[in-house]
Structure 1
Amino acid sequence: MYAEDPAREVWPDREQEPVALRFRAARAGDAEACAPLIFASGVREFGFFLGEPADACIEFLAFAFASKLGRFSYRRHRVAATEDDQPVAVLALHDGRHTWFDDPHVALMLMLFFGLRRTVRMLLRGLVLESELSAPTSSQTLIAHCATHERLRGTGVFSTLFADAMRAGELNSQTRAAHGEPDRQQLVLDVLVSNKRAYALYRRLGFVELPRRAPLSARLPRELESVRLEWAGRNK
């Protein structure tokens, strides 16, 4: 229910003609539409990290999404949008070479939104969560916040958004290559062990499972056990 949009009644059912979509970089003005989608991408994770009701989590994500900096910023996201420019799918790309300021920025956003006392507890839980969902290294780009509006799941929207993001990334790689800069980023993402449907989708997109680095932390709920996948190239 967390990915519902107040305008969903105007969208066609799957049995009708598919929605015409376009793919673009996210904008600050997409915050209201994208925040519920981002929350839906990790309901359990956000619930553990923030420890707040769903509505408060979504309000925080909308607040942080409108920022120009940080892992929740609109600048890190790409969206699939309807003809009336309503985002219905989203993903984020976190290049490990440019994420060094993410943790301090998240702390700042949390403090501004929730206050100091609640922020301290959130950051402590965040350290536990990061033992399972680690930040990307400088040689990795992490795909995150992958979500599609519930009415359009299973229709290929996310696969097309992923392909669009890869095309955009390829253009960036070509630009760096033209300036003699190496681009050997490993493309990775995390998925909950219990999320069989998402795992199957990522495998179809060409992701393969990486070896587990460490046992699940005793302070982390078993339901948050995850696997990290690496993109090995599009499956034939």
Structure 2
Amino acid sequence: MTDEVAGQDFWTELRKTTQARIGLGRTGNSLPTRQVLEIASAHAAARDAVHEPLNVELFAETVRGVGIGEPLHIRSAAATREEYLRRPDLGRIPAESSQVPHTPADIGFVLADGLSPVALAKHGTALLTELVAQLRDRYTLAPPVIATQARVALGDHIAELAGFGTVLVIIGERPGLSVADSLGIYLTHAPRAGRTDADRNCISNIHPPEGLGYREAARVAAGLVTGARELGRSGVHLKDTSRGTALTPPE
């Protein structure tokens, strides 16, 4: 076996363990054409994930099937996608026309498009279903809120107005060249306007089958909810201790 073939076999096996681009090879001083085209394709997919709008009506129909009430649609103060990308501050506050009814509950869910509406459309309903299965026997759950042109902090405004004890913001994460459809869950206990990232706990990289599965993410979130309500706060004071045990089998 030549050194070149042995090297190819070595990288082939390693690539099975990661989504990272490793062992890309070389043609002269450049990458091989195949790798250049794959990177260009991944970059295009990431851009599309950012700019493709969420089909709210279609998404609301699937969320309605979870069975925790009629979804409410809330928009941020960013009027367009372009303004949303240029003005992150506007994505953190609700539009003046948004009306948030007072629906007090132990737990509220905000399903936000974030920087990857594609991720929310693909994974949001299945993840919400698992979260509801983990939490509904122990807590009261509010009807879900779908938020568009949304940043994480928009959930604090919604939760304060609605009267949620704890809010879980399910949001599309910033796409990269390896993953364009990843979700994150941001948990804030006693949410209110002005909370910072230090007051939240994050579960990221949710995009089965390559990333974290829905059931495992929901299990971790449920553990954090329990801890937050016992401690009376979330964020840097709350630690995830669930990973001391073996993870459940991949979905």
TM-score, normalised to structure 2's length?
Answer: 0.28
From the two aligned structures, give the one with the greater helix fraction: 1
Between Structure 1 and Structure 2, whose CA radius of gyration is higher?
2
